[in-house]
Amino acid sequence: MIEAKAEETVSLRDHRRYSIKNRRRLSGPALRTFTAISDGWNLSRCQRCCLLGGRSTSAYHRWERRALNHSALVLTTNTLFRISLAFRIHRTLTILFEGECETNAWLRNCHLAEPFNGLAPVVLMIDGGVDGLLAVCRFLEGASQGINMQPNSADVGFQPYSDDELVIADESAPDRGVQSDEQKCPP
């Protein structure tokens, strides 16, 4: 009985997530934010349309105008998903790089790493569809955790520790800053 109720709650939640009412609530703010991010990335109107799934520039212009005027706008689930991937990419780029110049240089320079294979990330994002956006997103999220990136200046000349340099603390040894029962303050 409890399991059936939990499954019912999940399906209701999923239904509301994709409802027109919820997409209408999210579409305007999402497109306004996407426009600001795209401006920062110096994407042309055509590139923005490709990033959003190949929409026509007139449709994008109509959406943008409605979003900027805070008029009613309902984007498809696919378009909102693509925008959310652009948000994730932007967020991770701001973690990895200090400024817009560094971010744009990384987006536009060719990279030899696996998902890019000599292409610029922005090309993969625009021409690769959802798979390209996901590939860039996954690469960057891995890079923010130290995976996939080339060593930086802090790594140059780093020597691993030897066994002789490791100190293993004996927790049972006294005088490690731990107070004995006699030294503790009364409650």
Are the C-beta atoms of residues 70 and 121 closer than 8 Å to each other? Answer: no
Question: Which pLDDT score is estimated for 38?
Answer: 94
pLDDT at 58 over 70: yes
**Which of 144, 40, 117 is CA-nearest to residue 86?**
40
168 Cβ contact partners less than 8 Å away, ≥ 6 residues apart: none
Question: Which pLDDT score is estimated for 187?
Answer: 47
Burial class (CB in 10 A: 0-12, 13-18, 19+), 128: middle
- Please report, for the chain, the start and end positions of each structural domain, with discontinuous segments joined by +: 10-148
pTM of the predicted protein model: 0.70
The phi and psi torsions of 168 (rounded to 5 degrees) equal -105, 120
For all residues of the chain together, what is the average pLDDT?
Answer: 81
Provide the token pair at 137. Answer: 């997103």
Higher pLDDT: 26 or 132? It is 132
Torsion of CA 140, 144, 150, 151, to 10 degrees: 170
Provide the token pair at 125. Answer: 């994002």
- As a whole number, mean pLDDT of residues 10-19 equals 61
Confidence band of 134 (pLDDT split at 50, 70, 90): very high
- As a whole number, mean pLDDT of residues 118-129 equals 93
183 Cβ contact partners less than 8 Å away, ≥ 6 residues apart: none
pLDDT at 174 over 70: no
Are the C-beta atoms of residues 85 and 134 closer than 8 Å to each other? Answer: yes
Confidence band of 105 (pLDDT split at 50, 70, 90): very high
> What is the per-residue pLDDT across 176-187, written as a single tens digit (0 to 9) for each?
554 555 544 444
- Answer positive or negative: Cα dihedral of 61, 62, 65, 67: negative
pLDDT at 93 over 80: yes
- As a whole number, mean pLDDT of residues 4-18 equals 54
